[in-house]
Amino acid sequence: MDTILMVDGNFVYALVHAKDSPFRVEINPRRLVSVTGQITGSKLKKPLEVKEIAFMDDPRMIIVPLYANPQDLVKSSGIELFQAPQNPFLFDDAVVVDVKDSRFGQTKCLRDEKDGRYIEVDERSFAFLTGAFNPGKGDLVFSQKAELLGIMVNGDYAFHVKNLGGRIEGGSRTLLGDSFDADKTNTLLRDLKKKLSGLSKKFKY
């Protein structure tokens, strides 16, 4: 799957949609036996090992902490590290990036009035800058300052990137590699699927 790397102080991480990962919960979860992971890129001299992941309060969103010093990472690779908005409540125009085909368009975003975990992407006001596309799961939503506002959960709504530390699902930390616990993880995925079913329909499909 494609992703960007984020930074918060000295904490480097990735935030991804689970749809293309072993940890998808929208369809019947896979029965996992073993999981390892790494992040690669044309600028990285060597892959970054993924040692663990955790699920957010929307279980389709996975946070991936990376044990890397951000200054050293930028110096050695020249890779760009993105940040969450300094003021996550101040936004209007936004840029939606189709990560698969590298297309993007500008539109307006609104914080959902009933559930502040999500922002609505207004398809009606899209100005396509590199060819038309339909926003979809996993596409990235950036502010005009190139801060990551959200990740699309469907064609209309995005998971709002704010207060991430306080939104990690309790008990969802999952170690990978030799420390992977298959029984615990498979039970967790079943529980998260049930939680997802409780979301408002407009955020699910």
- pLDDT bucket at 160, cuts 50 / 70 / 90: very high
| pLDDT score at 78 | 92
Provide the residue ranges of all domains of the chain, joining segments of one domain with +.
5-83+166-204, 93-160
* Residue of higher predicted confidence among 91 and 170: 170
Model's pTM, two decimal places? 0.91
C-alpha 10/C-alpha 186 separation (Å) is 32
Helix (H, G, I), strand (E, B) or coil at 4: coil
C-alpha 65/C-alpha 50 separation (Å) is 8
End-to-end, the C-alpha distance of the chain in Å comes to: 21
Residues forming beta bridges with residue 82, ordered by sequence position = 6
Tens digit of pLDDT for each residue in 27-58? 888 999 999 999 999 999 899 999 999 999 99
Name the burial class of residue 46, with classes exposed (0-12), middle (13-18) and buried (19+) by CB atoms within 10 angstroms of its CB. Answer: exposed
Contact of 180 with 56, CB cutoff 8 Å = no
CA neighbor of 141 nearest in space, from 153, 155, 152: 152
C-alpha 83/C-alpha 59 separation (Å) is 21
Tokens at 76, concatenated: 């050695």
Backbone φ and ψ of 38, nearest 5°: -155, 155
Residues forming beta bridges with residue 152, ordered by sequence position = 158
Contact of 131 with 120, CB cutoff 8 Å = no
- Residues present in the chain in total: 205
C-alpha 104/C-alpha 179 separation (Å) is 39
DSSP letter string, 88-104: TT---EEEEEETTTTEE
Q: Is the pLDDT of residue 178 over 90?
A: yes
C-alpha 89/C-alpha 147 separation (Å) is 12
Tens digit of pLDDT for each residue in 117-141? 999 988 777 776 666 777 889 999 9
Q: What is the DSSP letter of 29?
A: P
